[in-house]
Structure 1
Amino acid sequence: MTPAARLGAAIDILDRVLSGAAAEQALTSWARASRFAGSGDRAAIRDHVYDALRCLRSFTAMAGAHTPSGRALILGSLRAAGQEPDEFFTGEAYAPLPLSQTERNALSVAPEAGALPEAVALDCPDWLMVPLKDALGENFTHVLQAFRERAPVFLRVNSARADVPAAIEALADDGVEAQPHPLTQTAIEVIGGARRIRNSAAYLSGLVELQDASPQAAVAALPLRRGMKVLDFCAGGGGKTLAMAALCDADYTAHDVAPQRMRDLPERARRAGVAVSIRNGKALIGQRFDLVLLDVPCSGSGTWRRAPDAKWTLTPDRLSDLVKVQAEILDGAVDIVAPSGAIAYMTCSLLDAENREQIDAFIARNPGWHCCAERMFTPIDGGDGFYSALLTRE
């Protein structure tokens, strides 16, 4: 495919996303229906789509449009990159149709990047400006600017199987270039050949797992000790379960309200050389654990570099619903924590409503509990936005 044809495909996919389809779903559907596209084409189109979604407000404004569309987003992206739209909007060989006079007129009066209002320039929904400023303080602008860029690719070195130098060397054998990351001792950042990871011997043999550096650091700070009973209550795919198991020899149990999310966990645990039990809700009745990890459902506001469409679909009502679910999960965990045990509460959110305010409300509802440690990571630290708090009984 030509560069112009790739932009044409990105426009079609973006229109599907703007009509309500999830970005990954729209990309997958297009790829299945477009067998002529090679892997390089699919990767380039994916980049165009995600770059446009990260910068939806600013690209729309720079195209002179009042509402986002696939064409407006691609026009805005070309203008932001200093490229001439007429070179690509030719209508030839699957390229986008030539610019209309209306589009030319809009472009002629559209503001430059430096003249955009703050919320538009930072690609932030208006209703989230104040909550994010409250949460991030002086780092607000830097973090929001980071969300407009692509996220780094991080791997977690399975310390039960290899050390960082050995993992980096094994990855290099398969054309994946990586380097240690200072956020935590198990994290390495991929700086070349990221698309080769899943077929690399290091990945297939369990030496490394895909995992952002921030949750790696949060897990590394947990008070794990040999032989303790640990429950990952909202396990999802089980990444944090495996991270804990690689750090400390203990009794690990994974649970999720949607068990299908854990379908790959047994194989991943086998590959990593660690033991994990998988239990449903009824099997937890009467059980008590020394540590209960709650990586609760959240807005995902810390992961907007990776899932930028989530930024635009989050609403105040949706956030309110999530806060209620988080409170219910926290309160329910009290009954399965041993008397001297602890709750580790985690979100991939930067919003106070899901983080410190949630912890304060839990302590107010449950006398005798207190927060003995907490930390919020932001993209300034290198990884995703992530919050972790450790709760214990007095």
Structure 2
Amino acid sequence: MGTGMTPAARIAAAAEIIDSISAGLPAEKALLRWSRNSRFAGSKDRAAVRDHVFEVLRRWRSTAAQGGGSDGRSRMIGLLRQQQVDPDTIFTGEGHAPAALSDAERAAGALPEGNDLLDLPDWLADRLGASLGDRLAPAAEMLRHRAPVFLRVNTRRCSLEAAQAALADEGIETRLHGLASTALEVTAGERGVGRSAAYADGLVELQDVASQAVVEALPLSPGLRVLDYCAGGGGKALAMAARTGGEIIAHDANPERMADIPARAARAGARILTADAPEGPFDLLLCDVPCSGSGAWRRSPDGKWRLDPDGLAELCRLQAEILDTAARLVAPGGILAYATCSMLAEENGDATRGFLDRMPEWTSQFERQFLPQDGGDGFYLRLLAAPGA
């Protein structure tokens, strides 16, 4: 059991971790290394330090601007200024607190502007600007803040009202969200969700509201043969099973990503069969393809700064390859649903238009871009219809 850290010690630790990230260590590895070397830190300390680090990652450029430097210490000074906390009250040099501010540090820093204010790399600001136009600034601002926690109610097990009541009994407060009919937004007690009876009994699953909205937009009905082609941990497969009441087949290029699906399906009372080499034809095939994750950078802000143009180009190549491969598994007249958690046109509209250019007998039935200002993550969905028999 850790003895606990002062707020100032937590900030000192966050600054140290940020320096490790600046030196090239991925954020999760930097946090894990610090945690392993800091046995004195309790669970609340680790959560607080993680929150500090992720806040800075979301605001990498603006915290440097307001802190007057690019090291972890300066970025934490900048973050405190953004939070309207006087850094002098934290940087005291007493105990495990960071050293007191110098006169130069007190004088340094400026209000961010341009791409510093957007907290985006220059090249990504250009690409996202071309993709979103006047929707860029509000989307970028949303990415600077922590994402809400959403739950999907398993309506085959209980109603939304019953799920809310069960969660409230355990101190977890929720409210409905208009983007998806199955969604609850957690407003208090979010850290208790994974330990709750409602979660253990399969009444609710953690799933972003836009991800739920993507599944709601799919033309699902009982009796269809359905494949989740890039299933990952199975969140969308579970949501599809809840809608159809039937079996969903799940596949992923890396089968290890699907390791949790059997337990999750059993908890939810869903029938999901994992397949290394699924055989078509399928009436509906969902491809939630590997992508930049730009719509979900509130949750994984490290990706905002690690993506580069070559990495994006490789993702686009992979997305085209997946589309062309998956299309061969779709039944005549069936639907290929293409989804990303991206806001970049190259991965979304451009990718599906490229597919339609290569496959002119296919047609587009539906297209929607979800943005963070809609309430959840940024997601894209397009329904592509195969030629009939």
TM-score w.r.t. length of structure 1: 0.94
Cross-structure match for 2:72: 70
Q: Deviations over 1:261-282 (max 9, x none)?
A: 111100100000010101102x
**Greater mean deviation of Cα atoms: 214-223 or 7-16:** 7-16
Q: Structure 2 CA distance, aligned partners of 1:80 and 1:376?
A: 31
1:374/1:390 contact within 8 Å kept: yes
Q: Structure 1 CA distance, aligned partners of 2:315 and 2:306?
A: 14
Counterpart of 1:221 (choices 201, 217, 222) is 217
Is 1:245 the counterpart of 2:220? The answer is no
Deviation at 1:134, TM superposition (A): 2.2
Q: Structure 1 CA distance, aligned partners of 2:267 and 2:84?
A: 47
Q: Deviations over 1:39-69 (max 9, x none)?
A: 221221111111111111011011112xx22
Cross-structure match for 2:364: 371
Counterpart of 2:190 (choices 185, 194, 203) is 194
Cross-structure match for 2:180: 184
2:289/2:322 contact within 8 Å kept: yes
2:62/2:116 contact within 8 Å kept: yes
Secondary structure, aligned partner of 2:331: strand
Matched positions, count? 383
Cross-structure match for 1:310: 303
1:89/1:95 contact within 8 Å kept: yes
Deviation at 1:317, TM superposition (A): 0.4
Secondary structure, aligned partner of 1:294: strand
**Greater mean deviation of Cα atoms: 134-143 or 301-310:** 134-143
> Which amino acid is the alignment partner of residue 381 of structure 2?
S
Is 1:24 the counterpart of 2:17? The answer is no
Secondary structure, aligned partner of 2:168: helix
Q: Structure 2 CA distance, aligned partners of 1:207 and 1:343?
A: 29
Deviation at 1:27, TM superposition (A): 1.8
Q: Structure 2 CA distance, aligned partners of 1:79 and 1:277?
A: 51
1:230/1:250 contact within 8 Å kept: no
1:147/1:305 contact within 8 Å kept: yes
Q: Deviations over 1:316-356 (max 9, x none)?
A: 00000000000000000111111121100000000000000
Is 1:52 the counterpart of 2:56? The answer is yes
Deviation at 1:72, TM superposition (A): 1.4
**Greater mean deviation of Cα atoms: 258-267 or 116-125:** 116-125
> Which amino acid is the alignment partner of residue 262 of structure 2?
P
User: Percent identity at matched positions?
Assistant: 51
Cross-structure match for 1:278: 274
Secondary structure, aligned partner of 1:391: strand
Secondary structure, aligned partner of 1:276: strand
| Within-5 A mapping of 1:1-394 | 1-65=5-69, 68-99=70-101, 101=102, 104-111=103-110, 113=111, 116-281=112-277, 284=278, 286-394=279-387
1:269/1:276 contact within 8 Å kept: yes
1:152/1:383 contact within 8 Å kept: yes
TM-score w.r.t. length of structure 2: 0.96
RMSD: 1.3
Q: Structure 2 CA distance, aligned partners of 1:48 and 1:94?
A: 17
Q: Structure 2 CA distance, aligned partners of 1:75 and 1:301?
A: 27
2:173/2:187 contact within 8 Å kept: yes
1:298/1:322 contact within 8 Å kept: yes
Q: Structure 2 CA distance, aligned partners of 1:124 and 1:335?
A: 38
Q: Deviations over 1:228-265 (max 9, x none)?
A: 11110100000000000011123310011111111110
2:336/2:386 contact within 8 Å kept: no
1:232/1:255 contact within 8 Å kept: yes
> Which amino acid is the alignment partner of residue 22 of structure 1?
P
**Greater mean deviation of Cα atoms: 348-357 or 333-342:** 333-342
> Which amino acid is the alignment partner of residue 235 of structure 1?
A
> Which amino acid is the alignment partner of residue 329 of structure 2?
I
Flag structure 1 segments of 5+ consecutive residues without an equivalent.
Answer: none
1:151/1:306 contact within 8 Å kept: yes
Q: Structure 2 CA distance, aligned partners of 1:173 and 1:29?
A: 37
Secondary structure, aligned partner of 1:26: helix
Flag structure 2 segments of 5+ consecutive residues without an equivalent.
Answer: none
Q: Structure 2 CA distance, aligned partners of 1:352 and 1:296?
A: 14
Deviation at 1:106, TM superposition (A): 5.0
1:178/1:189 contact within 8 Å kept: yes
Deviation at 1:85, TM superposition (A): 2.0
